[in-house]
Amino acid sequence: ANPGSNAATKGWQKVGTVAQLDKTGQLLLENSPIGAVLVVGTSKTAKNLIAVNPTCTHQGCTIDWKAKESKFVCPCHGAKFARDGKAQDGPAKKPLKTYQAKIEGSSVLVQA
Ligand code: FES
């Protein structure tokens, strides 16, 4: 309710607003203080927000969230990752880096 205050708890970084997230169900921030972050979800499903570093662990393309399949898919060579970041299919073997995410007021916060 007070957008000017910097009440974020230590370690939590603001990556965008709830309005931005709710618009498309995802929020991509290329240059946050903790690097690229992709948050998936909406304020309606706030308890199930997912946040990952969207850099594919194969060769570094930016992965897409496929809501229907509930998976992350890399456009470059087709690697697939589960909601929790685990590599499932394709050439990537290592999981995506994941973060805790939460909504506080009108802000979407991610913890490194
Ligand atoms: Fe993602 Fe190759 S860079 S599958």
Predicted confidence (pLDDT) per residue in 45-104, tens digit: 888 899 999 999 999 999 999 999 999 999 999 999 999 999 999 999 999 999 999 999
Cβ pair 66, 73 in contact under 8 A: yes
Amino acid identity of residue 88, one-letter, is Q
Q: Which helix (H) or strand (E) holds 39?
A: strand 35-40
Q: Is 18 in the pocket of ligand 1 (CB under 6 A)?
A: no
Q: Is 76 in the pocket of ligand 1 (CB under 6 A)?
A: yes
Q: Closest Cα to residue 52, out of 23, 24, 81, 90?
A: 81
Distance CA 60, CA 64 (A): 12
Q: Closest Cα to residue 53, out of 78, 80, 70, 31?
A: 31
Q: What is the pTM of this model?
A: 0.87
